[in-house]
Amino acid sequence: MADSPSSDAEGPRHVALIMDGNGRWAKARGLPRALGHRAGVEALKRTVQAAPELGLTCLTVFGFSTENWRRPAAEVSELMGLVRNYVESDLDRLEREGVRLRIPGRREGLPDDIRAIVERAEARTAHNDRFLLQVAFNYGSRADIVDAARRFALSGEDPAILTEDRFERLLSTSDAPPVDLVVRTSGERRLSNFLMWEAAYAELLFQDVLWPDYGPDALAKAVEAFRTRERRFGGLEPTRQAG
């Protein structure tokens, strides 16, 4: 039965988070939006810390979308500053704790210093395999699929033998296991161009919590909600994986 909870059902390994509601959190407190984003970084840190204890091996978060460039310049600059600070302040700890950091998304268009910071962070943590943290930045699923198609065209491989598996390896999220659960916070119910290929068989969950209030308890609730879902990947029987 789709809704019967079962505590020994498997939990998600890979959770993807659309961290929404920073602006509303700030507005409710009479604060500038920038402070909502800063509180959002603290929520991200708490959530990353709790994820392995809840059985996850991978977390993907939507840090900045290809559409976020439409925001006022000051807000764009604030978000750039936050990713810079986050990587610089947390890299040592993440490396020590066995976290591999990946930054899916388009590198073109990012300020040179951020590009350098994310490339260094990826290189420094490339050997880690305890946990994969993907911070999608300047990311949009359609752009990523187009970029993958471009890479394939440039590879000189025969299109007649292109498979889904091969194509998937050209996406900027290719190091991650399948997405089990996509969570969007703040009550909005959209995918907003996030992981549209990768989340083809993911469960979707919309949590009524503004992102800066997120943390271990909310993630634990998401994991519990996932356990109640029955996944069939297009077949008739419940199963763990597509195929």
Interface with ligand FPP by CB under 6 A: which residues?
19-24, 37, 40-41, 44, 63, 68, 82-83, 86, 135, 137, 211
Report, in Å, the least distance between residue 22 CB and ligand FPP: 4
Q: What is the Cα Rg of the chain in Å?
A: 18
Which is closer to ligand FPP, CB of 112 or CB of 237? 112
Nearest one of 14, 59, 22 to 40, comparing CA atoms: 22
Q: Is residue 20 annotated as a catalytic residue, yes or no? A: yes
Q: Is 128 a catalytic residue?
A: no
Of 22 and 141, the one with the shorter C-beta distance to ligand FPP is: 22
CA gap 60, 136 in Å, rounded: 7
Query: In the complex with ligand FPP, which residue's Cβ is closer, 74 or 153?
Result: 74
- DSSP per residue over 160-207, as a string? GG--HHHHHTTSTTTTSPPP-EEEEETT----TTSSTTTTTT-EEEEE
Sort 231 into a burial class: Cβ within 10 Å, 0-12 / 13-18 / 19+. Answer: middle
Catalytic residue among 68, 128, 175, 193: 68
CB 68, min distance to ligand FPP, A: 6
Residue 82 Cβ vs ligand FPP, minimum distance, rounded to whole Å: 5
The pair of three-digit structure tokens given for residue 228, joined into one six-digit string:
């109640």
Which parts of 126-163 fold into alpha helices (H)? 141-155
Q: Do residues 23 and 197 lie in contact, with contact meaning Cβ atoms separated by under 8 Å? A: no
Question: CB-wise, 135 or 171, nearer to ligand FPP?
Answer: 135
| Residue, CB closest to ligand FPP | 23
Task: Confirm if 206 and 188 have CB atoms less than 8 A apart.
Answer: yes
Residues 98, 158: Cα–Cα separation, whole Å: 38
Judged by beta carbon, residue 20 or residue 198, the one nearer ligand FPP is 20
34: Cα separation from own chain's centroid:
21
Question: Residues 212, 19: contact at Cβ < 8 Å?
Answer: no
CB of 222 to ligand FPP, least distance (A): 16
Active-site residue, from 3, 20, 129, 144: 20
Taking the complex as a whole, the smallest distance from the CB of residue 142 to ligand FPP amounts, in Å, to: 17
Which residues are the active-site residues? Answer: 20, 68
